[in-house]
Structure 1
Amino acid sequence: MSDLKGELASLRIDRDRAGPRLRRWPLFLFVPMILALGALYALRARQAFSAPEVDTVRASVVRSNEAAAGTPILTASGYVVARRKAVVSAKIQGRLSDLRVEEGSRVRQGEVIARLESGDYEAQVQRARAALQRAEADLAESNRQLDLARRLTGEKIMSLDQLQTAESRARVGEAAVSQARADLAFAVASLANTVIRAPFTGTVVKKMAEVGESVAPIPPGVNISTSSGAIVALADLDTLEVEADVSESNVAKLSADQPAEVTVEAFPDRRYKAVLRQVIPTADRTKATVQVKVTILDKDAQLKPEMSAKVTFVEAARPAAAAEPASPVVVVPKEAVATRDGKPVVFEVLGNKVRSRAVVPAGERQGQVVLREGLAGSEMLVARPPDSLKDGDAVRVKG
């Protein structure tokens, strides 16, 4: 009986010893799960902190039928120049004996600017006058002999051949007088060329010679910096305008008499009213630009030739009858538009990632880009996106 109890006791389950073993196996499953979640969180945190930090701007919707009058269309850089200008030189070579102007001198058309040494030319004039007097005396003697020959021939005293000889001498004398008069006129003109006069009313912008220096005629088309032998550079400051280079892709935006505003680097706060005068009918293929000339309407004494200038072309005022009901358009700040593969795009912020969206610009308005397609308006966009930013990249928004 005792053996039977012992065997039954050996078959009894010891719950105090098996319980701890059964409770350990969930712990072995839970610990790897915690470690995996921790690793995933660390990876996500690392990616979040390594993402670039960006500023953001928002697209907006405005209502307008067209750009309003005065709205900037495009901006071009150039220089202030005088439409009427000249590099003044002498018509003959000589040494400068008198110079009556300085930089900034105001001269009138025909006013004497300078003189060359003229002693040789004055002597040539006197010599030409003496030659004319001799030719006139020879002609008078030839005419006297001709009259005598005609009378004697009529009395049958002189032969007809002798009369013809007298007539020939008279004609030679007339030719000699004509040549002497031409020589005198040439000498007088050469003497007059020693006096240099202003070709038009203007201001001396550069003096290029001093008294005692030799000057000479210069070929047409030279500029102020390379005009060796010239005397002064003259400009009519009442004809100041701006010559600017416009990109070939923007020339179509301009029309005749397009209004504009001009600023110069010397005093950027001063704005001048201007109007497009001419679009040069040829392009510069090395720069892919077209030169335009803009007339300044309210110029003042502060403007100087060769100043660096910036021209902003603006929309012209439209008649009230031409107004149409306004339609909404989407605008975004210029700093939000980037270029990828030669096409304009913006980067929309969605959570902690960006989405690249292609857009179609339709011009600019007061520092913002008008979009024809691509956005609905109100999207949050990356401002000044880095060149390395691409679709799907993670970002951190500042602030």
Structure 2
Amino acid sequence: MHFIHTNKSFLLISALIMAGLILQACGASPETTPQETPLAVQTELAGTEVSIVTHSFPASAISAQEARLSTIVMGTITMLDVNEGDRVSRGQVIARINDNQIRAQLMQIQAAKMQAAAGYELAAAAFRRITNLYEQESATRHELDEATAGYNMAKAQLEMLEASEQEVQEMLAYTVIRAPFEGVVSRKFMRAGDLAAPGQPVVTLSSPGLLKIRAHLPENLIRELTAGETIRYSVPAAGIEMDSVPLTRVNSSGDQMSRQFSAEAVLPDAHESGIRPGMFATLHLSISDEPAIFVPQSALVHRGQLTGLYAVTESGQAVLRWVRTGRAHEGRVEIVSGLRSGERYISVLDTPVRQGQRVSL
């Protein structure tokens, strides 16, 4: 009986304690959640910018004055003593072509010319004599006509042979190839003993003192270029990383196969700077592109293959936007889609930002 009474007392006390706790909980005032402090961030307004895009194209350093020397006569090369790299002076003999046949032809023409000259003198004397007799009425009209015709025929024959002699003399001059200007033999195509043909180059002569760079550009960039504007170039082999020079010429007619147009720029003092014909060069063109939205690289968020940024709403909340990026230029990246002009975004993510977090501008 004593055990049952003790157990009932314990249950009664426990019930009273539980009731007190429930009453205390019901009467307590709710706890107030403290308001979140806005995160201080750097922001910018998105706006369109006109970027300067630099395009680089392979180019070559070539001689600004270059000539392929050839002959218009066919014959064996009897003399060709220059080699590639040799310096020659203006008027110096580069090569000689066998001229035996041309000289024989010249001798034949000169002999015929002497004969025609004698016939011309005889016809001229007869013409003068018959003319005097005709004026004295001692010669008939028929005799005068015959003397006149003989004189004209002899004169025409002599003039024809004189023209032939001049033509052969010019052909004889083409058997000697001379340097048209002072320069360097940059390429040698033939050797002594080879058969030279009309139009076939024998050597290429270049002027080393004046060089230019030539590049072939796509058709969509030609309208952006005009002769006289400044371009940049580099020649790594000569130790020139970047230099400026005016654009000399832009070819207005392009190649129909490649759809490319050539552009050239003369290099001042190229020889002194170590540039040589044939060296590889690069032409750098800075062209204004279409207006676009650019943001700093520091504003972008990368998660896997996705790229985004935090836009700031009018209520001051950071909202993650996935964007599509384009070209990069000087630390800024083009936003193709996902951000409109006039929207505010966080430009520097130096501290972690949560989706929907309040920020202060």
Alignment match, 1:332: 297
Q: What is the CA–CA distance in structure 1 between the aligned matches of 2:169 and 2:324, rounded to whole Å?
A: 77
Residue aligned with 1:281, SS:
coil
CA contact 1:348–1:379 (8 Å) conserved in 2: no
1:357 paired residue number:
323
Distance 1:378 1:204, change over 3 A: same
Picking from 327, 348, 351, the partner of 1:378 is: 348
Q: Secondary structure at the match of 1:211?
A: coil
The percentage of aligned residue pairs carrying the same residue is 22
d(CA) in 2 for partners of 1:85, 1:261: 24
- Alpha-carbon shift at residue 376 of structure 1 (Å): 4.9
Q: Which among 35, 55, 59 is matched to residue 74 of structure 1?
A: 55
Mapped contact 2:246–2:265 kept (Cα < 8 A)? yes
Question: Could you tell me how far 1:355 is from its partner in structure 2?
Answer: 6.5
Give the CA deviation at 1:168. Answer: 1.4
Distance 1:147 1:180, change over 3 A: same
Q: Residues 180 and 66 from structure 1, CA distance in 2 versus in 1: closer, same or farther, beyond 3 angstroms?
A: same
1:275 matched to 2:268: no
The alignment status of 1:304 with 2:315, answered yes or no, reads: no
Please say if 1:347 is aligned against 2:307. yes
Instruction: Quote the Cα distance in structure 1 between the aligned partners of 2:349 and 2:255.
Output: 41
Displacement of 1:371: 4.3
* Structure 1 residue 359: Cα displacement: 4.2
Partner of 1:223: none
The Cα shift of 1:91 comes to 1.6
Deviation track 1:377-398 (CA, whole Å, cap 9, x = no partner) reads: 3248xxxxxxxxxxxxxxxxxx
Pair 1:346–1:310, CA change in 2 (3 A): farther
2:108 aligned with 1:127: yes
Contact 2:209/2:271 (<8 A) preserved: no
Q: Deviations over 1:301-336 (max 9, x none)?
A: 532333221122359xxxxxxxxxxxxx74439xx9
1:259 to 225, 230, 254: 230
For 2:167 and 2:103, how far apart are their aligned partners in 1?
12
CA contact 2:231–2:284 (8 Å) conserved in 1: yes
1:238 matched to 2:209: yes
Pick closer, same or farther for the CA change 1:189–1:283 going to 2, 3 Å.
closer
Aligned to 2:73: 92
2:168 counterpart (187, 190, 207): 187
How many residues of Structure 1 are paired with residues of Structure 2 in the alignment? Answer: 286
Where does structure 2 lack aligned partners over 5 or more consecutive residues?
A: 1-42, 288-293, 311-319, 340-344, 351-361
Which whole-Å CA distance do the structure 1 matches of 2:210 and 2:306 have between them?
Answer: 45
* CA shift digits 1:251-289 (9 cap, x unpaired): 565454333332234345554432222333345676565
Tell me, in whole angstroms, the C-alpha distance in 2 between the residues paired with 1:276 and 1:109: 29
- What secondary structure, in the 3-state scheme, does the structure 1 residue paired with 2:248 have? strand
Q: Mapping of 1:1-399 within 5 angstroms?
A: 73-153=54-134, 158-218=139-199, 229-248=200-219, 250-251=221-222, 254=225, 256-268=227-239, 270-282=241-253, 289-300=260-271, 302-313=274-285, 330-332=295-297, 347-348=307-308, 356-359=322-325, 364-365=329-330, 368-369=331-332, 371=334, 376-379=346-349
Structure 2 Cα separation of the partners of residues 282 and 152 of structure 1? 71
Q: How far did residue 357 of structure 1 move?
A: 1.7
Structure 2: which amino acid aligns with 1:347? Answer: T
SS at match of 1:234: strand
RMSD over equivalenced CA pairs, Å: 4.3
Alpha-carbon spacing, 1:285–1:129, altered in 2? closer, same or farther (3 Å)? closer
Contact 2:96 2:177 in 1 (8 A): yes
- Once residues 298 and 314 of structure 1 are traced to their aligned partners in structure 2, the CA distance between those partners, rounded to angstroms, is 24
SS in 1 for 2:83: coil
Greater shift in the superposed pair: 150-159 or 73-82: 150-159
> Any gaps of 5 or more consecutive residues in structure 1?
1-58, 219-228, 316-328, 339-344, 381-399
Q: Secondary structure of the residue that 1:377 maps to in structure 2? A: strand
Change (3 A) 1:134 1:75: same
Distance 1:158 1:284 in 2: 74
Counterpart secondary structure, 1:115:
strand
In structure 2, the CA distance between the partners of 1:191 and 1:284, relative to structure 1 (3 Å rule), is closer
TM-score normalized with structure 1 length: 0.59
Shift in alpha-carbon separation, 1:89–1:282, aligned structure 2, 3 A: closer
TM-superposed CA distance for 1:130, in Å, is 1.7
Aligned partner of residue 266 in structure 1, secondary structure = helix
Q: 1:157 offset after TM fit, Å?
A: 5.0
Distance of aligned partners of 1:256 and 1:208 in 2 relative to their CA distance in 1, 3 Å threshold: closer
